[in-house]
Amino acid sequence: MHMINTVIFDMDGLLVDSEPLWGIAMREVFATVGVTLTPELTHRTTGLRTREVVSYWHNYFKWEGKSAEQVTNEIIDSVTQKIMAEGRAMEGLTYILDFFRERNFKMGLASSSPLRLIEAVLGHLQIKESFQAVYSAEFEDYGKPHPAVYLACAKALNSDPLECIAFEDSVTGMTAAKAARMTTVVVPEPHNRQDPRYALANMKLDSLLQFNDQQLTLLMQH
């Protein structure tokens, strides 16, 4: 019997309200190569690594003038600047980190964002100390929905995936956590809350603030 003793968090859209800033940065940078990305289109690639997003739209729009790599770097630079200027914590961020720290859980972060962006966000929100392991999917062969980044983070925490709760906001991230065989809690993106695929998660919340000892006990009984 595996005792749940570890929690691993996604970052974008779960701990920091960065999805709107990603959307703006993507639209601004894509506009420089003559590509118009609507909000509806940007939602298609939520949870993927930036270079996968850029490659997806490069195949779709076939723009000229800037390489996919240059576009990727410009987007990451822009998002980093925007988060440092106006990135806000998601509702319940301090609450959820305190909740698990007080219960002596091992705590990790597993994000699709590049490490330099993760470090900027952790510094900006002053939560770097909360995590014993921070992993970026940029160093894995595959990003979410592949479980690699979750498995790497669990290994660094010396935890079996079956001892881990993963917190996610996107379907892509939830799929990765479930594929890693982790107990998965989703706090869905508001525009996407009714997506039937979220039924795959062990628990669905409207806010991190809804998680408490009662929820934890329910998850422990799975």
Residues 12 and 63 in one domain: no
Q: Which of 12, 77, 195, 206 is catalytic?
A: 12
Q: Is residue 101 part of a domain?
A: yes
Number of structural domains in the chain: 2
Q: Between 213 and 44, whose confidence is greater?
A: 213
Contact 220, 181 (CB under 8 A): no
Q: ∠ CA(209), CA(145), CA(121), 5° rounding? A: 50
CATH of the domain at 148: 3.40.50.1000
Average pLDDT over residues 195-218: 97
Q: Is residue 66 part of a domain?
A: yes
pLDDT of residue 163: 97
Contact 21, 76 (CB under 8 A): no
CATH of the domain at 77: 1.10.150.240
Contact 57, 107 (CB under 8 A): no
1 has a pLDDT exceeding 80? no
Q: What is the mean pLDDT of the chain?
A: 95
SS (H, E, C) the chain: CCCCCEEEECCECCCECCHHHHHHHHHHHHHCCCCCCCHHHHHCCCCCCHHHHHHHHHHHHCCCCCCHHHHHHHHHHHHHHHHHHHCCECCCHHHHHHHHHHCCCEEEEEECCCHHHHHHHHHHHCCHHHCCEEEEHHHCCCCCCCCHHHHHHHHHCCCCHHHEEEEECCHHHHHHHHHCCCEEEECCCHHHCCCHHHHHCCEECCCHHHCCHHHHHHHHCC
Residues 106 and 26 in one domain: no
Decide which of 54, 86, 118 is a domain's last residue. Answer: 86
Residues 194 and 148 in one domain: yes
Decide which of 53, 86, 119 is a domain's last residue. Answer: 86
- Give 63's Cβ-side CA count (13 Å radius): 21
Residues 97 and 206 in one domain: yes
pLDDT of residue 7: 98
Decide which of 86, 119, 145 is a domain's last residue. Answer: 86
Has 213 been annotated as catalytic? Answer: no
Residues 92 and 186 in one domain: yes
Residues 23 and 13 in one domain: no
Tell me the per-residue pLDDT of 4-35, one tens digit each, with 9 for 90 and over: 999 999 999 999 999 899 999 999 999 999 99
Question: Is the bond leading into 145 cis (omega within 30 degrees of zero)?
Answer: yes
User: Token pair 């039924």 is at which residue?
Assistant: 199
Residues 78 and 131 in one domain: no
Q: What is the dihedral of CA 137, 138, 144, 149, to 10 degrees?
A: -20
Q: Which of 10, 17, 77, 169 is catalytic?
A: 10
Domain that holds residue 150: 6-17+88-220
Average pLDDT over residues 150-178: 97
Residues 147 and 210 in one domain: yes
The type of residue at 136 is: S
Q: Is residue 1 part of a domain?
A: no
Tell me the per-residue pLDDT of 51-82, one tens digit each, with 9 for 90 and over: 999 999 999 999 999 999 999 999 999 999 99
107 has a pLDDT exceeding 80? yes
pLDDT of residue 47: 83
Residues 79 and 146 in one domain: no
Residues 113 and 212 in one domain: yes
Has 77 been annotated as catalytic? Answer: no
Residues 103 and 78 in one domain: no
pLDDT > 90: percent of the chain: 90
pLDDT > 70: percent of the chain: 99
Average pLDDT over residues 76-90: 96
Nearest-angstrom CA–CA distance, 14 and 57? 24
Residues 125 and 166 in one domain: yes
Q: Is residue 82 part of a domain?
A: yes
Q: Is residue 120 part of a domain?
A: yes
Question: Minimal CA–CA distance to 188: which of 171, 200, 164?
Answer: 171
